[in-house]
Amino acid sequence: MRKITLCYKGTFCISFFLYFCFIFNASAQCSVNFGASSQFALFTVSGAVGNTGISSVTGDIGTHAGAITGFETPTQIYGTIHNPGDLTYQASADLLTAFNELLNTSSTNGSHTPAFGNGETLFAGVYSIGGAGSVAGTLTLDGEGNPDARFIFKFGGAFTAGAGSTIILTNQAKASNIYWIAEGAVSMAASTTISGTFIANGGAISMGAGSQLNGRLYSTTGAVSIYSTTIDTDGFGIAVGGITSANQTICLGILPTDLELTGNSGNVQKWQKSLDSNFTFPVDINCTTTTLPGLTIGSINETNYYRAVVQSLECEENYAFSSYTTITIQSTTWANNQWSNGVPDENSSVIISDDFTSTGNISYCSLWVLANADIIISSGDTLTLNGILIVENEGSLTLENEANLIQLSDVENIGSIFVKKRTSPLMRLDYVMWSSPVSDQLLQNFSPFTLPNRFYNYNPTTNIYTTVLDLETITFESAKGYLIRMPDDHSQTPLLYEGIFEGKPNNGNITIPVTENTYNAIGNPYPSSIDANQFILENNLQEPIYFWRKTNNSNHDSYATYTTAGGAGGVANNDGGAPLFITPNENIASGQGFIVKANSSNLIFTNAMRTATNETIFLRANSEINRIWLNLNNANEYICQTMIAYMPNATSGIDISIDGKYIHERETALTSLIGEKEFSIQGRGLPFDSNDVVFLGFKTQFAGNHTISLNQYDGLFNSNQTVFLKDNYNTTLHDLKLGDYTFSSEIGTFNSRFEIVYQDVLGINQSEYNDSIIVYNTKNDLFINSKNSFITKVDVYDVYGRLILSKKMV
Is residue 474 in a domain? Answer: no
What does the pLDDT look like over 720-761, one tens digit per residue? Answer: 999 999 999 988 899 999 999 999 999 999 999 999 999 987
Here the CATH number for the domain that contains residue 255 is 2.60.40.10
Domain closes at, from 300, 329, 358: 329
The residue among 329, 346, 377 that closes a domain is 329
Q: Which has the minimum average pLDDT: 117-121, 203-207, 633-637? A: 633-637
Residue 428, pLDDT > 80, answer yes
Same domain, 372 and 321: no
| Mean pLDDT of all residues in 135-147 | 96
Query: For residue 182, which of 109, 215, 236, 133 has the smallest C-alpha distance?
Result: 133
pLDDT digits (tens, 9 = 90+) for 486-536: 999 998 887 888 999 999 999 999 999 999 999 999 999 999 999 999 999
* Average pLDDT of every residue of the chain: 87
Q: Are residues 785 and 716 in the same domain?
A: no
Write down the pTM of the prediction.
Answer: 0.63
Contact 701, 667 (CB under 8 A): yes
- Torsion (CA) 89, 91, 96, 101 in degrees, nearest 10: 150
Beta bridge partners of 140: 121, 168
CA atoms within 13 Å, Cβ hemisphere of 531: 14
Backbone angles phi, psi at 98, to 5 degrees: -65, -40
pLDDT category of residue 300 using cuts at 50, 70 and 90: confident
Q: For a pLDDT cut of 90, what percent of the chain falls above it?
A: 65
**Number of domains within the chain:** 5
Instruction: Yes or no: say if 363 and 384 are a contact pair by the CB < 8 Å rule.
Output: yes
Residue 180 near residue 165, CB atoms below 8 Å = no
Pairing mode, if any, of strands 464-467 and 587-588?
Answer: unpaired
pLDDT at 319: 81
Taking CA 241 as the corner, what is the angle to CA 239 and CA 243, rounded to the nearest 5 degrees?
A: 150
Across residues 785-789, what is the average pLDDT? Answer: 61
Residues paired with residue 451 on neighbouring β-strands, in sequence order: none
pLDDT at position 583, please? 76
Higher pLDDT, 374 or 90: 374
The string of DSSP codes covering 599-658 is SSSEEEE-GGGEE-----SS----TT-EEEEEEEEESSSEEEEEEEEE-TT--SS--TTT
Strands 349-352, 166-170: parallel, antiparallel or unpaired by DSSP? unpaired
- Do the beta carbons of residue 23 and residue 44 sit within 8 Å? no
Residue 673 contacts by C-beta under 8 Å, 6 or more apart in sequence? 679, 695, 696, 697, 751
Break the chain down into helix, strand, coil percent, rounded to 5: 5, 45, 50
Measured CA to CA, the distance from residue 14 to residue 8 in angstroms comes to 9
Rounded CA gap, 547 and 594, in Å? 5
Distance CA(701)–CA(699), nearest Å, equals 7
Top mean pLDDT of 74-88, 690-704, 769-783 is at 690-704
Give the percent of the chain with pLDDT over 70: 87
* Contact (Cβ atoms closer than 8 angstroms) between residue 311 and residue 269: yes
Establish if 464 belongs to a structural domain.
no
* The pLDDT of residue 373 is above 70: yes
Domain assignment present for 643: yes
Residue 389, H or E segment: strand 389-391
The Cα–Cα gap between 113 and 212 comes to 25
The answer to whether position 407 is within a domain reads: yes
Mean pLDDT throughout 663-678?
87
Residues 89 and 206 in one domain: yes
- Quick one: 81 and 187 in the same domain? yes
Report the C-alpha gap between 442 and 419 in whole angstroms. 14
> Are residues 287 and 358 both part of a single domain?
no
How would you write 285-338 as a 3-class SS string? ECECCCEECHHHHCCCCCCEEEEEEEECCCCCCCEEECCCEEEEECEEEEECCE
DSSP 73: T
Instruction: Please state the φ and ψ torsions of residue 74, each to the nearest 5 degrees.
Output: -90, 0
For residues 317 and 343, membership in a common domain is answered with: no
pLDDT digits (tens, 9 = 90+) for 21-39: 333 333 345 678 888 888 8
Domain shared by 324 and 224, yes or no: no
Which residue among 382, 400, 415 closes a domain? 415
- Look at residue 483 and tell me whether its pLDDT is greater than 90: yes
90 and 197 assigned to the same domain: yes
Q: Is residue 411 part of a domain?
A: yes
Interatomic CA distance for residues 444 and 454, integer angstroms: 10
**Is the model more confident about 547 or about 63?**
63
Checking if the pLDDT of 8 tops 50, the result is no
Instruction: State the residue range of the domain holding 68.
Output: 39-232
User: Over 50: is that where the pLDDT of 15 sits?
Assistant: no
Q: What is the pLDDT of residues 590-600, one digit of tens each?
A: 999 999 999 99
Q: Is the dihedral of CA 150, 156, 157, 163 positive or negative?
A: negative
The reply to whether 265 falls in a domain is yes
Count CA atoms closer than 13 A to 606's CA, side-chain side. 10
Give the per-residue pLDDT at 787. Answer: 55
Same domain as 325, residue 340 = no
Does any domain span residue 562? no
Residue-level pLDDT at 617: 40
Average pLDDT of the residues in 65-69:
94
pLDDT band at 425 (very low <50, low <70, confident <90, very high): confident
CA–CA gap between residue 199 and residue 218 (Å, rounded)? 5
Determine, yes or no, domain membership for 790: yes
Read off the pLDDT band of 362 (50, 70, 90): very high
Instruction: Name which residue leads in pLDDT, 300 or 356.
Output: 356
Q: Rounded to whole angstroms, how far apart are CA atoms 99 and 30?
A: 14
Asked whether residue 337 falls in the same domain as residue 323, the answer is: no
Which of these ranges, 76-85, 525-534, 764-773, has the smallest mean pLDDT? 764-773
- Return the pLDDT at 764: 44
Q: Where do the DSSP E strands lie in 445-586?
A: 455-459, 464-467, 482-485, 498-505, 510-513, 519-523, 529-531, 545-548, 559-563, 566-568, 571-573, 579-581
pLDDT of residue 14: 40
Note if the bond before 687 is cis, omega within 30 degrees: yes
Instruction: Work out the number of other CB atoms within 10 angstroms of the CB of residue 118.
Output: 12
Smallest CA-to-CA distance from 430 within 546, 521, 554, 525 is with 554
Same domain, 325 and 338: no
What local confidence, expressed as pLDDT, does residue 779 receive?
A: 52
Q: What is the DSSP letter of 446?
A: H
Query: Do 152 and 226 belong together in one domain?
Result: yes
Mean pLDDT over 68-78 rounds to 93
Residues 541 and 596: their CA atoms lie apart, in Å, by: 8
Written as one letter, the residue type at 287 is C
pLDDT in tens, 236-294: 877 778 889 999 988 887 889 999 998 888 899 999 999 999 898 999 999 999 999 99
pLDDT given for residue 349 in this prediction: 92
pLDDT in tens, 160-172: 999 999 999 999 9
Round to whole Å and give the CA distance between 482 and 480. Answer: 7
Nearest C-alpha neighbor of 348 from the set 340, 356, 338: 340
Instruction: Output the 3-class SS for 534-556.
Output: HHHHHCCCCCCEEEECCCCCCCC
